[in-house]
């Protein structure tokens, strides 16, 4: 996709951009609190992925939820939008972790779908910032 850069690194960069854009949108007081908890958000203590988990199905569900938020954006309150975006950001991290445990022949497809999900979520974050 980008030369010799593995697609997991690309996905990790996209997730980092999503988190950074959230920090930029916060006011200084929120940014300080967010920065302190950033490490716990990036590397939360979670159980290891379940062997045989359906990472492809998880990404498809993630894409469905992202599309639902985008399609119904105007019908949600700002608080509901924020809640859904936060949940989707966490879900991207979980799915990314699960995708890393897939057999090598299955990873490219799931990572590609995950990249699409991250880009769509980034577009939603941009929409959120422009609506302020």
The CATH number given to whatever domain includes residue 92 is: 1.20.58
| Vertex 20: Cα angle to 19 and 25 (nearest 5) | 100
What pLDDT, on a 0 to 100 scale, did the predictor assign at position 13?
A: 61
Residue 29 domain-assigned?
Answer: no
- Count of domains for the chain: 1
Per the domain annotation, does 56 fall within a domain?
A: yes
Task: Give the range of the structural domain holding residue 119, as residue numbers without chain letter.
Answer: 1-10+52-132
69 is a domain residue: yes
Would 15 be classed as within a structural domain? no
Q: What is the pLDDT of residue 75?
A: 95
Determine, yes or no, domain membership for 100: yes
Gap between the Cα atoms of 85 and 88, Å rounded: 5
Residue pair 12/114 in contact by the 8 Å Cβ criterion: no
pLDDT at 100: 87
pLDDT of the residue at 67: 95
Give helix 107-130 / helix 78-100 axis angle, nearest 10°. Answer: 160
pLDDT more than 70, % of the chain: 60
Enter the pTM of the model: 0.61
Whether the per-residue pLDDT at 131 is higher than 80: the answer is: no
User: In this predicted model, what pLDDT tens digit does every residue of 8-40 receive, in sequence order?
Assistant: 566 666 666 566 555 445 444 444 444 444 444
Rounded Cα–Cα distance for residues 75 and 48 (Å): 36
Pick from 21, 37, 6: which is nearest to 119 by CA? 21
pLDDT of 47-106, one tens digit each?
Answer: 454 555 688 899 999 999 999 999 999 999 999 999 999 999 899 988 888 888 888 898
Q: Is residue 16 part of a domain?
A: no
**CB-based contacts of 74: which residues, under 8 Å, 6+ apart?**
none
Inside any domain, residue 33: no
């Amino acid at each position: 996709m980008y030369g010799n850069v593995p697609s997991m690194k690309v996905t990790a960069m996209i997730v980092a951009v999503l988190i950074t854009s959230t920090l930029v949108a916060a006011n200084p007081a929120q940014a300080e609190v967010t920065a302190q908890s950033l490490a716990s958000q990036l590397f939360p203590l979670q159980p290891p992925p379940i062997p045989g988990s359906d990472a492809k199905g998880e990404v498809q569900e993630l894409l469905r939820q992202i599309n639902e938020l985008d399609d119904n954006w105007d019908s949600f309150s700002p608080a509901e939008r924020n809640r859904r975006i936060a949940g989707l950001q966490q879900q991207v991290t979980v799915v990314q972790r699960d995708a890393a445990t897939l057999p090598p022949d299955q990873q490219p497809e799931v990572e590609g779908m995950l990249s699409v999900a991250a880009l769509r979520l980034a577009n939603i974050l941009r929409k959120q910032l422009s609506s302020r």
